[in-house]
Each structure stands twice: as C-alpha cells, then as structure tokens.
Chain A
Amino acid sequence: QVQLVESGGGVVQPGKSLRLSCAASGFTFSNYAMHWVRQAPGKGLEWVAAISYDGSNSEYADSVKGRFIISRDNSKNTLYLQMKSLRAEDSAVYYCARVETVDILTGYFDYWGQGTLVTVSS
C-alpha cells in the first residue's frame, strides 16, 4: 500500500534552516510528481511546492519562493524540502502529497502523509 512518511520537523529559531524528508513506499516513486502542502494551526491548506517525476522541474508558492527548495532522490524514494530564512508564519504542519500525474501544477492529491510539525519561534 502507498505510504508517505514525513520527518524532520521541530522547533527552530527565526532565520534558521530546516530540512524535511518524505519517505515513499508502496509505489514507483519515480513515476509521480510530488508536492508539499502546509497547514498553519487552525488554518486551511496552503500549497507550498511541487516537483516533477524526474526532478527536472519545480514550482513554488510566492510565499516561499527564494527561501525553500524542493528536491527528490528517486534512488532513495525520498522527497525533500529545504527551508531557509524561516519565519514565524512558516509554522505549520507540512504534508507531502502525491499527485496522480508526472507533471506538476496539474492533477489531484491522491495520497498524503501524516505530516510533520514545524514551529518557528525564538
């Protein structure tokens, strides 16, 4: 069965960096585009970033562009989100999610991880 397991969350000071990971199993990871979606406490879902099946193309929400980098290692079936210059407003549960297509910015999220909490606070 498809499993997505996020890790790497925690408490970090403003301005610092953090890297999230998402370990995928139960499907051919290299055949699917992948995304990060976040949810601030008590708030709605916010799309963060996407990467194509082969890592050749990526897109970002304006709120994180220039600070976050999405990447993937298909040999390790793992998705990453490198977050830099973190702000209080980046505090959220971060979900990795699969879309049913190879392309980014299309399709629907058919599988989600359980999320990892990032808290940016001094």
Chain B
Amino acid sequence: SYVLTQPPSVSVAPGKTARITCGGNNIGSEPVHWYQQKPGQAPVLVIYYDSDRPSGIPERFSGSNSGSTATLTISRVEAGDEADYYCQVWDGSRDRVFGGGTKLIVL
C-alpha cells in the first residue's frame, strides 16, 4: 500500500520558517494537497495541487513537490499557525489518502 510519511511534530520559533514534509514513493508524480486543522475544528485547505493557495490563505503558506518528498513551508510563523497539518494524495490506493499528520508547535 502507498504510505505518506509525515514527522509527528515540527517546532519553530515565531517569525521563523517551518517546513513540514510528506514523504512517499515517487510522490512528485502526483498532486499533493495540504490541510490545516486546529483543535475542535474541521480541516481547512491551505495548499492544493502542490503549490496553489486558496483565496484567504496568507502568502506565507507555500508548497513544493518533487521526487519522493512534498513540502509545506510556512514563512514568518505566527502563534495562530499552531495546528495539525495533513498532506493528501490520490494514488489509486484507497487505504492511504492522508498522511499521518504533523503537529506544528510554535515555541
């Protein structure tokens, strides 16, 4: 089965840059989407098709995807960015659509 691997947590100081990775076999050949989920809330789309931002999402959020790793980059991190982040890929395998999630901790 296809596995999407994310680090359980990433810590970053305010104002710095956070990078959250999503690893998978040849993931660069598939579109990757990213979601932010704050406690008690539904997920929110923050990046689609590797690097596009929905309206209303700050330019501080960006994405890339190549080879075996997709990356969500959050620049000038703010306290309000603290949340869980999930990558999502459709690869034909139905048992792994989302990565395991990464908790972003703002120090």
Is there an interface contact between A44 and B48, defined as CB atoms closer than 8 Å?
no
Q: Digitize B51-63: 1 where CB-to-A-CB distance is under 8 Å, 0 elsewhere.
A: 0001000000000
For B95, give its contact among A63, A105, A115 (CB under 8 Å): A63
Judge if A80 is at the interface, Cβ distance under 8 Å: no
Q: Digitize B78-92: 1 where CB-to-A-CB distance is under 8 Å, 0 elsewhere.
A: 000000101010101
Q: In this complex, what residue of A is CB-closest to B52?
A: A108
Is there an interface contact between B35 and A44, defined as CB atoms closer than 8 Å?
no
Residues in A neighbouring B41, C-beta threshold 8 A: 114
Is there an interface contact between A45 and B45, defined as CB atoms closer than 8 Å?
no
Give chain B nearest CB distance to A63 CB in angstroms: 7
Is there an interface contact between A108 and B48, defined as CB atoms closer than 8 Å?
yes
Which residues of B come within 8 Å of A, CB atoms? Answer: 31, 33, 35, 37, 41-45, 48-49, 54, 84, 86, 88, 90, 92, 94-95, 97-101
Is there an interface contact between A108 and B43, defined as CB atoms closer than 8 Å?
no
Is there an interface contact between A113 and B88, defined as CB atoms closer than 8 Å?
no
Q: In this complex, what residue of B is CB-closest to A59?
A: B94
Q: In this complex, what residue of B is CB-closest to A106?
A: B90
Most buried by A among B43, B84, B86, B100: B43
Is there an interface contact between A45 and B42, defined as CB atoms closer than 8 Å?
no
Is there an interface contact between B42 and A46, defined as CB atoms closer than 8 Å?
no
Most buried by B among A44, A46, A59: A44
Q: Do A110 and B45 form a contact, CB below 8 Å, given A47-B98, A63-B95?
A: yes
Is there an interface contact between B95 and A45, defined as CB atoms closer than 8 Å?
no
A61 CA to B1 CA in the complex, in Å?
A: 12
Judge if A95 is at the interface, Cβ distance under 8 Å: yes
For A108, give its contact among B37, B45, B95, B99 (CB under 8 Å): B45
Additional A-B contact list (7), CB under 8 Å, known A45-B43, A109-B35: A44-B101, A46-B98, A61-B94, A105-B94, A108-B33, A109-B33, A110-B54
